[in-house]
Amino acid sequence: VAVKDPTAVERANLLNMAKLSIKGLIESALSFGRTLDSDYPPLQQFFVVMEHCLKHGLKVRKSFLSYNKTIWGPLELVEKLYPEAEEIAASVRDLPGLKTPLGRARAWLRLALMQKKMADYLRCLIIQRDLLSEFYEYHALMMEEEGAVIVGLLVGLNVIDANLCVKGEDLDTQVGVIDFSMYLKSDDDIGCKERNVQIAAILDQKNYVEELNRQLNSTVNSLHARVDSLEKSNTKLIEELAIAKNNIIKLQEENHQLRSENTLILMKTQHHLEATKVDVEAELQTYKHSRQGLDDMYNEARRQLREESQLRQDMENELMVQVSMKHEIELAMKLLEKDIHEKQDTLIGLRQQLDEVKAINMEMYQKLQVTDDAMKEKNEIISRLEDKTNQINATMKQLEQRLQQAEKAQMEAENEDEKLKEEYVNKTEQLHREFSQKEKQLLQLETDLKIEREWRQTLEDGLQKEKETVSQLRIETQEIITLKKEFLKLQEKNRHLKAICQDQEAALQELASKLSESKMKIEDIKEANRVLQGQVWLKDKEATHCKLCETEFSLSKRKHHCRNCGEIFCNACSDNELPLPSSPKPVRVCDSCHAVLIQRCSFNVP
């Protein structure tokens, strides 16, 4: 006879005991009532059998004081595998009366039965056999097929409703002994009818459970579809986040590049400033050496500046006088611009003449200060012009008020005309009615004359009365004619007022257009002055050929520089000349921007 494995025999016995306990619990619950308490004996025996099943093949763990062999370790794993079991584990840990791991495991089993999820929790444990191998031996019931069978049997317990009080019960000191007397029954005690009724009830419960499983499967499928859609949306969001991160990285790289370029520009500007400082120092030294020979030229330049300042004052006086005429203001502004260009030309000519010794930088700074003063004076002129524009705006407002008064008078006249028209219509209707009545009376009188001649005297009296009424009617018609004449006169007055209003509106429009033109020209002057401040001259060594004819500069072909656009022409190409009242000779003008050209020296003197 072959010898059987004792662990296999233990597993078979525990499986049979689990079948008997689950079957007896379901049958007794169906006969007793589906809600069970903690004192119900079959339920207590079920928990004892489950403890023995979970303890089978459990590894012994060493502790500091003794060896530990409890089922709380594998049950605690369910919390990590099945997220819904976190509530049970937390409530078990929070129970105040439990002190041992075995008591916590017993409380966990009772709570899982009340939730009707014991089979689901244990199924998660059986699937993860790698984790269970840390707690159980390889021949344990939970590691073999018997564990899966027990989990399948536990699904039937979902029919039962258990109402267990775990808080006040002493679960640490309970003795887990199986009572076999509950399962040893004779065949005579069991009646066929009761058995058939119980089997029918069990079948009904089974059908109910299958329908519940189908519904749960449908809900699980819907949840899986939602999870898939959420995963897709999550992947899309992750891709968008990666794209955004890449964009941020690119922007950071661009920022670094811009910063590096900024540092390079700063270095270049510093080098340029250092070079300009060196040039200025050299020019100062040369200026000190050649100061004595240039005093006469400096005095002449100073005298010219005084004359130009007097001319500027004259022009300002003319501007103050000619505020009423906008065209004259524009011409005066142009003349001022040309004078400024001439002054700058003279200053630049001095610089070109003194460029051989490079000593005119200090004079240029002084002249720039003078030009700044001139700009301040121009700003004062502009402020005065703005005051004039404010005065014009005030006059415009007065004209608008007059227009409103005229419109009100026009409206009143129209209302009076309408009233007169209504009165005239009413009077004419009354006259027509009276005429019709009189005609009827005349017809009656004619018939009366034909029929009764005796009443002739009475009729003559009536005719006299009618004549009197006719005379009155004639007087009324004459009054109506006079009213018509007055109405025509009012219409003529109305037309005259409308023509005056139109003329005033046209004058206001012309004033507004002139004011806008003057403001635009003032802004153009300001922009031109700003541009003049930022212009940079070409060096003599770089300017070797004319911009138009491309011929090389020499003594015969001198350089002429446009201070507005920065172009350089020879005296042969810059033939455009413009007469100015401030200068006796005509001034050469740029071909592109029509600004005054400045003569520059075409050769270097050592």
402 inside domain: no
Q: Are residues 317 and 173 in the same domain?
A: no
Instruction: Return the structure tokens found at 338.
Output: 């040309």
Q: Are residues 215 and 179 in the same domain?
A: no
Q: Which of 354, 376, 391 is the last residue in one of the domains?
A: 354
Q: Which residues fall within 8 angstroms of residue 103, CB to CB, at 6 or more apart?
A: 97, 171, 172
DSSP one-letter string for 87-148: HHHHHHHH-SS--SHHHHHHHHHHHHHHHT-HHHHHHHHHH-HHHHTTTB-TTSGGGSHHHH
Q: Are residues 25 and 163 in the same domain?
A: yes
Q: Are residues 77 and 216 in the same domain?
A: no
DSSP one-letter string for 218-275: HHHHHHHHHHHHHHHHHHHHHHHHHHHHHHHHHHHHHHHHHHHHHHHHHHHHHHHHHH
198 inside domain: no
What is the per-residue pLDDT across 65-109, written as a single tens digit (0 to 9) for each?
444 568 888 888 888 888 888 888 899 888 888 888 888 999 999
Whether pTM exceeds 0.85: no
C-alpha distances in angstroms, 258 versus 104, 227, 270, 282? Answer: 66, 46, 18, 36
pLDDT at 587 over 60: no
* More confident site: 301 or 571: 301
Of 249-253, 303-307, 366-370, 445-449, minimum mean pLDDT range: 445-449
Q: Are residues 164 and 249 in the same domain?
A: no
Q: Answer yes or no: are the C-beta atoms of 396 and 508 closer than 8 Å.
A: yes
Amino acid at 243: I
What is the per-residue pLDDT across 440-484, written as a single tens digit (0 to 9) for each?
888 877 777 677 677 778 777 878 888 888 888 888 888 888 888
For 481, list phi and psi in degrees, rounded to 5: -65, -45
Q: Are residues 254 and 179 in the same domain?
A: no
pLDDT at 249 over 90: yes
Q: Are residues 303 and 217 in the same domain?
A: yes
Amino acid at 330: E
287 inside domain: yes
What is the pLDDT, as a whole number, of residue 149? 92
Of 278-292, 313-327, 553-567, minimum mean pLDDT range: 553-567
For residue 154, is it left (φ>0), alpha (ψ between -120 and 50) or beta?
A: alpha
What is the per-residue pLDDT across 14-63, written as a single tens digit (0 to 9) for each?
999 999 989 888 888 877 765 777 788 888 889 999 989 998 888 876 55
Q: Are residues 164 and 251 in the same domain?
A: no
Res. 324 pLDDT band, cuts 50 70 90: low
What is the pLDDT, as a whole number, of residue 600? 43
Q: Are residues 31 and 155 in the same domain?
A: yes
Burial of 215-254, coded b for 16+ CB within 10 Å and e otherwise, reads eeeeeeeeeeeeeeeeeeeeeeeeeeeeeeeeeeeeeeee
Domain with 73, as residue range(s), is: 6-183
Comparing CA positions, the residue from 325, 336, 316, 378 lying closest to residue 514 is: 325
* Cα angle 169, 175, 180; round to 5: 115
Q: Are residues 218 and 177 in the same domain?
A: no
Report the SS3 class of residue 184: coil
Comparing CA positions, the residue from 573, 578, 572, 570 lying closest to residue 594 is: 578
Q: Which of 183, 200, 232 is the last residue in one of the domains?
A: 183
Residues 117-131, mean pLDDT to the nearest whole number? 89
Q: Which of 322, 354, 386 is the last residue in one of the domains?
A: 354
The overall average pLDDT reported for the chain is 79
What is the per-residue pLDDT across 4-19, written as a single tens digit (0 to 9) for each?
688 889 889 999 999 9
Q: How many domains does the chain have?
A: 3
296 inside domain: yes
Q: To the nearest whole percent, how much of the chain has pLDDT over 70?
A: 81
Helices 101-115, 72-81: axis angle to 10 degrees equals 50
188 inside domain: no
474 inside domain: no
Q: Are residues 108 and 256 in the same domain?
A: no
Q: Are residues 139 and 231 in the same domain?
A: no
258 inside domain: yes
The CB-side HSE value for 505 (13 A sphere, CA atoms) comes to 10
Instruction: Return the structure tokens found at 84.
Output: 């819904």
Of 74-78, 145-149, 187-191, 258-262, minimum mean pLDDT range: 187-191
Q: Answer yes or no: are the C-beta atoms of 79 and 126 closer than 8 Å.
A: no
Instruction: Return the structure tokens found at 200.
Output: 């029918």
Res. 223 pLDDT band, cuts 50 70 90: very high
Residues 194-223, mean pLDDT to the nearest whole number? 80
